[in-house]
Chains A and B, each alone.
Chain A
Amino acid sequence: MGPDFQLFLQQLLNGLTIGMVYALIALGYTMVYGIIQLINFAHGEIFMVGAYLGLTAIGIAALLGAAVPWWAVIIFVFLFAAAGSALLGGLIEKTAYKPLRGSPKLTALITSIGVSFFLQNAVMLIYGAREQNVPEILPAKQWDVAGISISLIQLVIFGVSVSLMVFLTWFIKNTRMGKAMRALSENPEAARLVGIPVNRVIRTTFMMGSALASVAGVLFALNYGSVNFHDGYLAGLKAFTAAVFGGIGSIPGAMLGGILLGVFEGLGAGYLSSEWKDVFAFLILVIVLIFKPSGMLGENVPEKV
């Protein structure tokens, strides 16, 4: 195995890591779009709020001293961020989006941009405009496997993301709520007629999507060691790209799209130029939207008259 191939594997691994984070955020976009056809522009900010909530949780855990093992701290941080973001997501849905049911799509899109600005600046006012360092709560472990290095945080990202995706797939397929979500995305009118509590299903979808995004936010913060109130915009946009790439409305599509986008970015940054890596994501976005708006796994929906 030559050094070239090792570099390739290393970039692939790095790409997969960030791709997992994109996939987790993309799930929220795709679930919400699937049931109410809203591009929830504020979803990226939920990711960012999740990262800050994680920071707060780390601060709370630090008060308890060093007696707590690191994995217990991690679990507490995830639960705290997920619960906080889920509440926030539900609140946003109730106050900003619910009054707009049935109004034109663009009205809701503009509202979500407003929500996005509001959250970004609220976080800036609360936590300050400067980049915040995230304390290292994970032991700095690293393994060498066949010449490529894998860190503990990468393993945590893989473990957490994969288990959440498996859980979500199971949830959508088997639970009552999951079935209601699928019914709603299939046909909202019919779903209402058979007695599905539409508002509660929509609220739950927002809360689940927000919880996933906040877990992604914590993983992102732990991986990069810092958070900034600007982070949500770019990450959100890339995750949206991933959702569109995979086929918006499709849950496996969001996972695949996120992972592929991460891999493209990792390889692009490694072989072409890291300066231009954001352009790759946006080019993919524009090209997919123009030429294959249904994405890889999405259904082609003809325009209804």
Chain B
Amino acid sequence: MKRKSLGFYIRIYFKILAQNLKSQMSYRADFIISTIGMIFTNIAGFVSFWILFTNFSEINGWGYYEMLFLYGFSLVAVTPVQCLFDNNWNLRRYAFSGDFIKYCFRPINLFFYYQSEIFDIKGLGQLAFGIGTIAYSWAKLGLECSILSILKMVVFLISASLVMIALQNAAAASCFWIENSFYILDFVTKLKDYAKYPVTIFSQVFRFIFTFLMPIAFIAYYPALVILRPEEPSVLSWLSPVVGIVMFFISYKIWMRGATRYNGTGS
């Protein structure tokens, strides 16, 4: 099969996206309620920090605005997985019912085609809330604001999102091997709620686990440190883009391996 160019994929992505948005917009009420629901969760996270900090002035050397910065960072970092890779949630059902086979016969990249089919718009509310939280705490902390620092921010946000995307891809792909894989996907999705805490609050053992085994520290803490405390980022912080890319690549390979191994249900 001839390799398709990147331009071809971008063009086709927007074509699929337009169709998908049209069909979602026919359920306008659902879209509005879902977006409000999403923002509700984010506000609740915000309120929790606010309640904690009315009682305590700092947590392990981290102030209120620094914690908010991490929270905002984690919200923005998990938006791409919400918006662009939401079809992973349907994978188990498609594989089980046999519908997945239809994707295998398209003359384009299977992973690309499958993921492009759904764009989850309700994630955009979270994106807006996350950016607002970052901007608010950024201003309150008086962090340096230059083109370079914003560029750094974008690069490290993307690296962080790749980690979350990779975790979810791998978890979703487990359905090709395991029957009741919903709980694995659900488990991995909950990890993103824990990404907002600085890894320094954990003991050595758990710091190791959350860095190398369940890499949730790469969803916000390590990459955010580059902006938040520019004087003390570790090697791991600067390595986070590499970690993101490598993890994404591995998860892609796992996903594709499962998908090519798939041989339908026979119907």
Partners in one complex: no
